[in-house]
Amino acid sequence: MCGSVPVHAAKFPIRTAEPDGGGRHSGGMQIASPFVFLGFAAALAAQSLVVVPNGYEHLEGTSAARTPLGWSSSRIQYLVDGSQLCSQVAVIQSLRLRLDGGNFNVDAPVAKSFQATLDVYEVPVTPATMTATFANNVVGAVPTNVFQGALVVPAAARLLPYPNPWTVELVLTQPFVYSRSNGNLLLDLTLTGGSGDNWPADGFFLHATEARGEVTKIQEDLACASAAGSLSLDVPAVAGNGVVGGTLVVAHTVTPVAGAAVDFVYHVVSLDNQQSGGVPLPVSLAVLGAPSCLLNVDPQIGVLVPTAAGSVVWPLPNGPAALGLPLYAQAVAIDFVTGTFVPSRNAWQVRLGDVVPPSGPAQMVHRSNYTGQATGALSPTGYYGLVVGFVGTFQ
């Protein structure tokens, strides 16, 4: 398997396709035959979940994707490097999406529904060579229709600690057998007739030419303040920051109340944002005089720096074992004269990057308000797309 994890019974309603009444589409489009999968009956009993990009099974993505679920109509082509899925063959039964948490968390998405069409291709195109023209990405490839019908997207609420649970599932009409030897996997999804509010899905962005850590905000509440003032953190998304064997810069901005002398900031980093001392995170700090403030990370390693320094610089481990390691950062500003303090109103996740820019795990061309346009948007600087959970068997 390629980084897969076992899948148990779904804890949310399964949304299935509504048959369109046809067995074959015009233009050479193929409908997956149920007889192809008789030989996979035993394997399908032991399903696994593979998350693309790999490594984000339990991590918040580094971006958010308003397309495809945030509009009345849309089209995306989502291209996955085959190495993300398997070494030889994958039998894909369903796709999962989850609500974004740390990047576009200003709304409370309501339920909505679409008419959905999903075609799958095996193509020689790579995430690095994908173009903004839809037709160019599937030249010479034969589409297989795996879903035609209603897609219901439930209302969702953000649940700390991130990532949010998988709440959208598109179950294929028939499982799709993907073979690495045939190229990479391209999903071509068109949604129409949408209703309801915005629904940003968890997404990712990886810079294509700069080596850097994969950074995302995992919590923020602008109301977080205390008698000392307020504190905000930032992890600069610049070349070299968060790379194995290098350093991680975490900047701080202190806004003291009148008369306060908040001269020091205590920064912490951690390997855990799930619990601290056996207590589930996050923990409210209101009882300590910091309403709307949360402890989001287990404070495992800390250092005190003068507020005037503006940041802390953490040395990072080197070697293959450190690559992809997630670190979590938070801080507290302290006025030692009055004994008051204020926690940072935000916390950050940094997945340690390689010393060379990453090859693309996936890439996405996306078009909101789609009405048949030939092109969509494509990131000019890196790899961007949805964080997708693939359910099936992977060998």
pLDDT tens digits along 189-203: 999 999 867 899 999
The answer to whether residue 108 scores a pLDDT higher than 90 is no
The answer to whether residue 33 scores a pLDDT higher than 90 is no
Mean pLDDT, to the nearest integer, of 77-101? 98
In this structure, the chain runs to a length of: 395
Backbone angles phi, psi at 336, to 5 degrees: -70, -20
Mean pLDDT, to the nearest integer, of 293-320? 97
Instruction: Kindly provide the residue ranges of all beta strands, DSSP E only, lying in 22-86, ordered along the sequence.
Output: 30-31, 48-52, 63-65, 74-80
Mean pLDDT, to the nearest integer, of 100-108? 75
Rounded to whole angstroms, how far apart are CA atoms 286 and 273?
19
Q: How confident is the model at residue 107 (pLDDT cuts 50, 70, 90)?
A: low
Backbone angles phi, psi at 182, to 5 degrees: -95, 0
- 170-186 pLDDT per residue, tens: 999 999 999 999 999 99
Q: How confident is the model at residue 3 (pLDDT cuts 50, 70, 90)?
A: low
Comparing 210 with 32, which gets the higher pLDDT? Answer: 210
Rounded to whole angstroms, how far apart are CA atoms 279 and 76?
41
Cα-based distances in Å from 209 to 41, 185, 238, 354: 43, 23, 11, 12
Q: Which amino acid is at 54?
A: N
The rounded Cα 194 to chain-centroid distance in angstroms is 23
Q: Considering the chain, tell me which residue range(s) the CATH 2.20.130.20 domain(s) occupy.
A: 214-351
| Mean of per-residue pLDDT scores for the chain | 89
Mean pLDDT, to the nearest integer, of 210-221? 96
The answer to whether residue 40 scores a pLDDT higher than 80 is no
- 335-354 pLDDT per residue, tens: 999 999 999 999 999 999 99
Q: Among 91-105, 303-317, 339-353, whose mean pLDDT is lowest?
A: 91-105
Rounded to whole angstroms, how far apart are CA atoms 131 and 376?
9
Q: Does domain 214-351 have CATH number 2.20.130.20?
A: yes
For 204, the 3-state DSSP assignment is strand
**pLDDT > 90 fraction of the chain, expressed in percent and rounded:** 83
What would the two tokens of residue 195 be?
């209703």
Q: Which residues of 340-354 are buried (b: 16+ CB within 10 A; e: fewer)?
A: bbbbbbbbbbbbbbb
Predicted pLDDT at 73: 96
What would the two tokens of residue 225 be?
């303040």
